[in-house]
Structure 1
Amino acid sequence: MYYVLKRLAFYLLAAFVAITVNFFIPRLTPGDPASTIVATYSTSMNAESLQALKTAYGLTDDPLVQQYFTYLGNIFKGDFGRSLSQFPAPVLSVIGAGFGWSALLGLTAVFLSFIIGSGLGALAAWRRGGFFDRVTPPVLLFLGSFPYFFLALLLFYVFCFKLGWFPMGNAYSSVNPPPFTLAGIGDVLLHLMMPAFTIVLVSLGPWTLNMRNAMIGVLSEDYLTLAEAKGLPPRRVLFDHAVRTALLPNITALGAAIGGVFSGQLLTEIVFTYPGLGYALMRAVSAVDYPLMQALFLIITLSVLAANFLVDTVYVFLDPRVRAGGEA
């Protein structure tokens, strides 16, 4: 418990630093888009109109320290201001429109990659030197070495455009989000398959290779030899002893992968026009929309910290050495 509380304090401090940096960096760089907009209209608007425009865009002449504490208060209230590129929509509503779709696509792809890759790596190590071990990891690494944009476009062209097996874009068929029915869920899953498949395909190589290498190291440990000498079934030795220990490096990587869900799908969402946060981030950067960019960067940072804290907590239950070290 002490170890978990210590890690929680560290991540809370890291989150505070991230929020502070997220505030100061845009304000320390020269110029901002809202000031440019105000300057554009300054010759055709009177002082009262300019002040109203600055207020609408959230511009203020208050001291930087006062702005900082106002910013912190707004963060805790969930107020990230208004999007400059989609004005007057609040930033939170813009993010809310794509958050669920990014989470659905990213988490589905990450967990499928983790489960399938770890399983293939464990099987390759258990039968090391055989045909499966010689073929599977190199083929998966070869597929993952392709430029992702090219591979996604190729799969999109073959399976969506030429064969018509999957939809050519969006997250659902209708104009409005589908209802929560079997037909609606099936429609969403059909649109999800190709974007998720492309991410899984290019991600399997590292997951498989990392698990294989960890398993080979674990299989040489004395406690596995003892388990086999006791007459335990091979399947129990594999899953209850070898896989549980060898999974630890992949679980660490899983935390980073979950944290990068909202930033690592940009190309996927562009190719398949999937309405997630990666696509929203691309549009925000193109439009120099600082409030939206700040909110997205903060979400990405906090998601990485939260995922790593979750992994540290899981480690306590999977590895007694971590628990013992934290209590020492």
Structure 2
Amino acid sequence: MSGPLLLLDGASLWFRAYYALPDSITSPDGRSVNAVRGFTDMVATLITKFEPSRVVVCLDLDWRPEFRVRAVPTYKAHRVAADTDGTEEEVPDTLSPQVPMILNVLAATGIATAGAEGLEADDVLGTLAATESRDTTIVVTGDRDLLQVVTDDPVPVRVLYVVRGLAKAELLGPAEVAAKYGVPVDRAGEAYAELALLRGDSSDGLPGVKGVGEKTASSMLMQYGSVKNLRAAALDPSSGMAKGMRAKFAAAADYLDAALPVVQVVRDAEVSFSRDDALPAAPVDPARLDELAQDLGIANSVGRLEKALKSAAAAQSF
């Protein structure tokens, strides 16, 4: 019996862990470990809940890829650290040192990480979801851009949307995305990306089509089925589209041409893995994991993670 493939959006989850717990949580030598503890607990909870046979933590090897910035110069521009040349993301001072700690815990546990040169974690998640042909896939993220990966074919791909934390997480597939955001159910994932393109996304620095908010974008996609059809209708005098709406799409033509590849995740990235993605039944380096647990003061969290591995392995044996 095979469990699902669990794909975790690494930075999205450790940012949420960092802000969910006070940075007064420290190691015995005084280092902040709130993100390490929170992230480790999240992973343990997710493994316990879904009993996966495979787990991959997906990483940003470039959080602001050149091809996206070239297409839309405002892409994530507001997140650039003030004292850099535009290539470094602004991250809290006490979070940055915790990322290597998290990666060390994952390595000692035997949980795979994966990245793609020059690309974001979104693109790694998009590629691994799109190329999976065996197991039900669950993408865990707080980034709603990844709702575009939901599908039923060739395997079910679902998104566990954790923007409000694991306790209030929503598990969304094509039907749920279509109902929640008002997009065509037969192409809910693709249509969600097009909805984001039309309405814009201030968190990513995407302006959208001026005068088109989420409700209007939803209505237009439901009426025309896709951005391609919508743009064709805007150019067709016999389509019945209102003159004002035609003008909005005409004015946004350059933006629409450039921004669709920015919004869409890459689905054919060359992904590199730290190790095989099979979830071990026990830590692959127990001595190192115990050393980290004691050094960082996260023994209880590591214990929960070890228990989760054992539980998931037992579930596969039935």
- TM-score norm. by structure 2 comes to 0.22
Computing the radius of gyration from Cα coordinates, the structure with the larger value is: 1
TM-score by length of 1: 0.22
